[in-house]
Amino acid sequence: MKSLFTALLMVLFIVPSIHSQSNSETDIHTHIDKLMQHCYDYQMFNGTILVTQDGKEIYSNALGYADKHNNRKLNKTTSVYLASVSKQFTTMAVMLLKDKGRLSYSDKLSKYYPEFPEYANTVTIRHLMNHTSGIPDHYRLGIYKPGLSNKDVFETLLKQELDFKPGERFSYSNGGYVLLAMIVAKVAEQPFHEFMKANIFEPLGMKNTLVYDESKPEIKDRAVGYDANGNLDDYNIFTTGAGGMFSTIHDLHLWDQALYSDKLVSKATLDEAFTPAKLNNGDYTQYGFGWGVSENDGKKTVQHSGGLAGYRTFLRRNLYDNSGYIILTNHGNLTNLRPILGALDAILEGEAYEMPKVPISAKLAKLLSHDDAISAIEKVNELIKTNPSNYEIDENGVNALGYEYMGKEDLKTALAIFKFNVENNPSSSNPYDSLGEALLASGDTIQAVKNYKKSYELDKSNTNAIDVLKRVGIDTSAMTKTIAVPTKVLDSYVGNYELQPNFILTVTREDDRLFIQATGQGKIEAFPITESKFYSKVVDAQITFHKADSGEVNSLTLHQNGDHKAPKID
């Protein structure tokens, strides 16, 4: 099955080959260029990047294609969809209106939209900005469709109850940000995109930035979106506030530098935006007004990621030394982005850094250009055996390569690739599904059935496996029985699990349902396969909880493009 992987959970892959460096601007430029060329050469990066130090641009580049089907390359002025990086601009619009005395952060949602249920009297603009409102994330409500508009989101949210009491906890809500854009338009008495252009983009000279909505503005040199497998996955909705913006690396540099001044709002207003929200119980979140906030040894950093359709974006600002970077990509493989970010952070700090692992799919593809499948896979297996730290066995990439050969009607090679993927990702569902499809195409129904059954066993959301099994005459009734996990067991899983530093998976229980939320991402429900293993219906991922000898749950393993263990930290 072609994976519909979306970036709700992110995994960091790095290798132990250490690169040392000095702190000069020339050396930093050289190291960044070496890093980015490495990632581009091995199909880990397709996009634009700009890096700053002391407020100055010290590196920028465009690598890959804006539109690969028309052979149009990216350049530094290519406009890319920002996804959730747009949120910081939405909160700036609110801050502008606040500084002008036209609204207050304490204003209730009911003041602007009294048609909401009674709870709107308890939800403030501040709650909406820092994701503590309890307003549901509309993507979790299953309303995504081509042409989705703010009106569609608004009408859906009107029918919902709050997920929790406002201020009780942090829960990422795109729906809350759609409401913020609507409030801005109502207060300003002009369309949201016009307000943004007149009050932010034009004053800062951001000539290649706009809000894309139902007016369908023309976008010059726009990057087309592709999924992790290289298939068209372009932006096709009209919602604003939570996303909706297109921009370039140079325009975003203008934005970044403006936030070190009072060009738009006062320093006091900006300081508050970069301050984590305080919950009702006195605890602090890691999110301000449209920015993730972290501070280590007195050094504060604000940042935000974005991901929708084939676009993955990231903007980081180190407030302590006016350095940072902007990354805009149009090839949706976020698992490849995180090691790049880790290396960039180290380079800017003058620390030793580690080159990202080479995806084994890229190496296998090169070998297959001149070797037969058996020889190529033997060579790849030898590389993995002798240099395991240098390669990432990237499940999605290998899967895409298999389908590439199926598209060429080279079923023998496709089967070999899918078998290789199963052997190297035995705990993941999708490789078995893909192998089952290829086996079925080759006429081997018996082995195809075995693989489809295994795929469903590992991922109960794989309805494709059930449909295929039914189509070939297999009774699936015993396979699809619902499993109930006692609430006492679910409670034992509740807590925070550290997948990587500053990247936490938070597990919560609501009644008899378990939820997982990754840092800076939306909350998703986890459904039981067994009492200790769960799966998601919105991403191709499973989670297994582990117990110590004492019987206490002490870690989990995320099964997503490999197996990744996360210890329980509280």
Catalytic residues: 84
Separation of CA 253 from chain center: 22
Task: Return the closest-CA partner of residue 310 out of 69, 12, 35.
Answer: 69
Burial 416-433 (b: 16+ CB within 10 A, else e): bbbbbbbebbeebbbbbb
Amino acid in position 91: T
Residue carrying structure tokens 């998703």:
524
Distance CA 50, CA 58 (A): 8
Identify the sign of the CA torsion 37, 43, 48, 50.
negative
Parallel, antiparallel, or unpaired for β 495-500 and 503-510?
A: antiparallel
For 421, phi then psi, to 5°, come to -65, -40
> Quick one: tokens of 538?
């919105």
Task: Return the closest-CA partner of residue 295 out of 502, 472, 453.
Answer: 502
Q: What is the dihedral of CA 292, 256, 87, 209, to 10 degrees?
A: -160
> Quick one: tokens of 68?
């690969």
Residues forming a β-bridge with 507: 495, 516
Residues forming a β-bridge with 523: 517
* Residue 481: Cβ within 10 Å count: 6
For 438, phi then psi, to 5°, come to -70, -40
Taking CB atoms within 8 Å and a gap of at least 24, the contacts of 370-378 are 372/413, 373/412, 373/413, 373/416, 373/417, 374/416, 377/416, 377/417, 377/420
